[in-house]
Amino acid sequence: MRADLICGPHAVLAALTKNPARIEGVWLSTGRRDARGAEVERAARAAGAPVHRVERDELDVMAPGLRHQGVVARLRPGAAAGAPSFEEFLTHLPERPLLLVLDGVQDPHNLGACLRSAGAAGAHAVIVPKDNSAPLSAVARKSASGAAETVPLFRVTNLARALDALKDAGVWLVGASHDAEKTLYETDLTPPAALVLGGEGKGLRRLTRERCDILARIPMAGTVGSLNVSVAAGICLFEAVRQRRGPR
């Protein structure tokens, strides 16, 4: 899947607003003359990105199989260059970080949805293994609905070592597991924390599980015994948000 494209008006507008220097150009369908399309065009011109009006068929060829809604942006080659590394991020952790670790999420829709939940919850970063994760493709970016441009995503070569580094930095590792004794709602998420979730179907891998300081489960109330990973991520993140805000 193309990793140099951003599709859809919301995701493209977020990229133009948050990281305009990364955008090489914007392509708009000739039929996209609504207010949202005009907003994207204004943002592109303000960012100095060339705007191309083309037929929708041309966008279909440019972004095959992607739901672009008549709006496509292309990232500059090496657009990620200059972004902080995971090691640099660790040296500048916020006072009470909230992080999301995804151990082997393979579906780009799920990766994007997890990024979206992380962005909505104010998480400081998402961390994934370099070789066992969905790419940040155009599909993932669109599912993220703009969060791919605002939430740092770190791809680490060795997830187990990255988790050790987080622990050394004082971050509490909370793993989500269906067979945990404690529920998520019995778990203190107010300290510096990384919520660790496994991939689709397999859950946490052994080395990842062993490094967690505590395991917690989301209690099920019905007959279905599991949740989609992006749904589980949202529940975990917003439980942390609820606890950190305190009683109201």
Q: Using an 8 Å Cβ cutoff, are 168 and 87 in contact?
A: no
C-alpha span between 87 and 100 (Å, rounded):
16
The amino acid that residue 64 corresponds to is P
Residue 170, annotated as binding a ligand: no
Strand-pair partners of 99: 125, 194
CA nearest to 103, candidates 132, 76, 123: 132
∠ Cα 218 219 221 (to 5°): 135
Tokens describing residue 96: 């009470």
The amino acid that residue 53 corresponds to is R
Residue 227, annotated as binding a ligand: yes
Residue 218, annotated as binding a ligand: yes
pLDDT in tens, the chain (248 residues): 566 888 889 889 988 988 888 889 999 999 898 999 999 999 999 999 999 999 999 999 998 888 899 999 998 875 554 567 899 899 889 889 999 999 999 999 999 999 999 999 999 999 999 988 999 988 898 899 888 888 999 999 999 999 999 999 999 999 999 999 999 999 999 999 999 999 987 889 999 999 999 999 999 988 887 899 999 999 999 999 999 997 65
Q: Using an 8 Å Cβ cutoff, are 145 and 10 in contact?
A: yes
CA nearest to 129, candidates 151, 144, 111: 111
CA nearest to 212, candidates 204, 224, 220: 204
The amino acid that residue 106 corresponds to is Q
**Domains along the sequence of the chain with CATH:** 5-75 (3.30.1330.30), 86-245 (3.40.1280.10)
